[in-house]
Structure formats: C-alpha cells, structure tokens
Structure 1
Amino acid sequence: MTRVIGLTGGIASGKSTVSRMLATAGLPIVDADQVVRTLQQPSSQGLQALEQAFGRNIITATGELDRSALGQLVFNDDQQRNKLNRIMQPMVWNEIWQEVDQFRKQGIPWVVLDVPLLIEEHYDRDCDLVIVVAVDRAIQRQRLMDRNHLTVDQAEARIVSQMSLEEKKRHADIVIDNNGNLQKLRQQVEAVLKRLKEQ
C-alpha cells in the first residue's frame, strides 16, 4: 500500500529544502510547483485560460507566462488571486493525483506531495501524514527579502497573502522547525525518515 505524505509550509519557510532532502533519501516527490509549470507551458490549456482571464500582458513576446507580471496582479488582490486559483487548482489537483496513482501502481510505500496550498486546497484530507515546515515570522521575512530582493513591505504582503504558519501547524502531524541552521534541519528530516521506516 502506498501512503501519502503531505509536505507544506509558508513562503521562504524551507519547504523546498526539506523536499530535496526527502528526495535525496529516495522518496518520490510530486511537486505542485512543477505540475503548475507544466500546465502553464506555451500553448497549453492552462496558459490559454490564464491569458483569457488576465489579459495579454501576462504573456511574454516568446509566448511564455510572465510570472512576475502575474505575481504583481495577484499578490495584493484577493479577488484576482481567487480567480487564479479557480482556474489552476482543478487542473493541478487532477494532475497530482494522477501522478500519485502511478506510484501506487508501482507499489511504492511512501510518496511525498510537495504542495504550498496543501491545507487551503484540502489535499491534507487524503494524506496519511502531514508535515509543516515552520519558521518565525521575522526570519521568514528576512529570508524572503534576501532570496527575492524584496522590500520589507513587499515581503510582508507576500507572507500575509498566505494562510499563517500558525494555522498550518494546527493541521500538522509533524512540525519541522527551520529557525536553525541546515544541520539542525537535516537532523529533523532524518528523524522523520526513521519514523517512516518504523511504520
């Protein structure tokens, strides 16, 4: 039987780092961001739906999605963000569970769903284990500013546009604390892997 681990966190909380560590340990990852990119390739159904909803300005001269233009539209506007989610989430949902089914057919024991909106879009209901990667707000903001070259206000706007990490933690079976260094993070991931082997 294949069991499903839901992995989530907030922006700049370290979820992708944890995901890479789990992948290195041999767990297959279904990456929602990768699924979204595939669904938004030039000439795809997803990209056509986005162009129809948000206009030609979100398409580059080479026919690709201009992610930063779309980001500017949706990050500070709940209505626009909800519109984006209504378009993309049903497609993403179908694709993710199709990928999980492929792993089930292979009899793989554990598969990881790396999904930023795991709880918001209710993927957690179909997971056997939910892991939330959490970090203090000040550290999260600073990491986001450093990583994306944002001002304090821009970083804060992106953080508040998401469900809070405190709320996400309430849905978690395991919380990974990423306030420390990489070594501390790795130790916690190793403890999770040990728990999975025991199960």
Structure 2
Amino acid sequence: MTDSVIIGLTGPTGAGKSTVAGLMKELGCAVIDCDRTAKRVLVECRPCVEELKEEFGADIVGGDGQVDRGLLARRAFATPAKALRLNQITHPWILKELRMEIDAFRAQGFAFIIVDAPLLFESGADAFCDRILAVTAPQPIRLERIIRRDKIDKELALSRIHAQQQDVYYTGQSDAWLSGDTDPNELRQQAASILERWRK
C-alpha cells in the first residue's frame, strides 16, 4: 500500500472547486467526490436511512424504497437544529465510506488522493487529510455560476451564498488556496505546482 498524500479540497459553492478537482484528475490524482459519497450512503446504508426516518418522518422514503432527497432537505434545513441533526446522523456513515474509498485508492498506488468536500471541516473529513487546499472566487462570479449551474433565481442563489462561511474560514484553515476565477491554463499550472511541492 503506497504512502499517498491525502488532499482535502474545499471552498464555498460556485468558487470553482469542481474545476480544480477535474484538473487534479487530469494531473493523475484520484478524486473522491464527497457529494456522490453522501448520495450513495442514502441509497445503500439502511441503518442511516432508518435513523433519518425516525428523525424526519417515515414518508421521506418513497414507495420505491428510495430517500426523497428533496423532501428530506426541506425538513432538514427548516431550522439550524434540524440541519445539525441531519449532519449528526449522516456524517459518521459518510466518513466510514470515505475511509474505505481512500484505502481503495491508496491500494491502487495513487500518489495523491483528492477529497472533494464542501463540508470538509464541518464533517470532520479534514482529519483524514495531510494537506488542505481551498478554492475561492469573488461573490459576483460565484453568484453567476450558481444561477447558471442550478437554474435558480438570483434571490435563491444569494441565500445559498449567505448560508455559507466567508472565504477566510476556508483559507485560514488551509495549506494553500487557489482563485477559481483564474484563467484555466494558469489554474492548471498552479495546481501542478502545488502537487509538486506536496509530493512525498
């Protein structure tokens, strides 16, 4: 099993984190998308789903046996306390799955494993990481991207931005940071430079 460098990749929504993750993959890194991991937990982890049903109502699971993620989100984000409960229930299961994904990529011999996680610090996933890389971008650019990506209006996009931490929350806890509004070629060069610096 190789001595991989685990890099936590985080930042606010719309900053360009997915673009950086894509560049890292092109540069030969393994990439774990924690959003995808979380979705898989809601499908495959029955104990987690049972806990969610107890907390948010049995009807969050439809007749097809699948979690109605829209209904769950509406109930979970109705209050900060409910959102906290969602995280308390799901994060331990997500972290368990994440650990298995990291071990699988490490066994394959990847020098770098990227953990792409918007809630890297909040979930505790940063504990798995050797280095942290933050991606930020000016709010007007993030706003435009969120509206285009999620096909929502400006008001809803702004509410998502305001629900997240300020840039300093991410950069202050990171070993390096990239600006997501950088020219793609320059961004790739910067990412490659960071990897070279962090290579074991």
Give the TM interval when normalised to the shorter protein: 0.7 to 0.9
Counterpart of 1:190 in structure 2 is: 192
Counterpart of 1:165 in structure 2 is: 167
Report the Cα offset of residue 112 of structure 1: 1.4
Report the Cα offset of residue 76 of structure 1: 5.0
Q: Which stretch shifts more, 167-176 or 49-58?
A: 49-58
Unaligned runs of 5+ in 1: none
Per-residue CA deviations over 1:39-91 (Å, capped at 9, x if unaligned) read 11167332232222212443344332222222333345211110110000011
Counterpart of 2:84 in structure 1 is: 82
Report the Cα offset of residue 15 of structure 1: 1.2
Is contact 2:56-2:76 (8 Å) kept?
no
Counterpart of 1:58 in structure 2 is: 60
Report the Cα offset of residue 99 of structure 1: 2.3
One of 112, 115, 119 as aligned partner of 2:114: 112
| Separation (CA, whole Å) in 1 of partners of 2:191 and 2:110 | 20
| Separation (CA, whole Å) in 1 of partners of 2:185 and 2:193 | 13
CA distance change for structure 1 residues 61 and 186 in 2, over 3 Å: closer, same or farther? farther
Is contact 1:42-1:63 (8 Å) kept?
no
One of 41, 48, 51 as aligned partner of 2:50: 48
Report the Cα offset of residue 151 of structure 1: 2.3
Counterpart of 1:11 in structure 2 is: 13
Q: TM-score, normalised by structure 1?
A: 0.86
Is contact 2:87-2:123 (8 Å) kept?
no
Is contact 2:137-2:181 (8 Å) kept?
yes
Matched to 2:71, the amino acid is A
CA distance change for structure 1 residues 77 and 140 in 2, over 3 Å: closer, same or farther? farther
CA distance change for structure 1 residues 178 and 133 in 2, over 3 Å: closer, same or farther? same
Per-residue CA deviations over 1:108-130 (Å, capped at 9, x if unaligned) read 33211111111223332442211
The DSSP-based 3-state class of the residue aligned with 2:134 is: strand
Q: TM-score, normalised by structure 2?
A: 0.85
Is contact 1:135-1:178 (8 Å) kept?
yes
* RMSD between superposed Cα atoms in Å: 2.3
| Separation (CA, whole Å) in 2 of partners of 1:168 and 1:58 | 33
One of 94, 97, 100 as aligned partner of 1:95: 97
Counterpart of 2:35 in structure 1 is: 33
Asked whether 1:22 is paired with 2:30, we answer: no
Unaligned runs of 5+ in 2: none
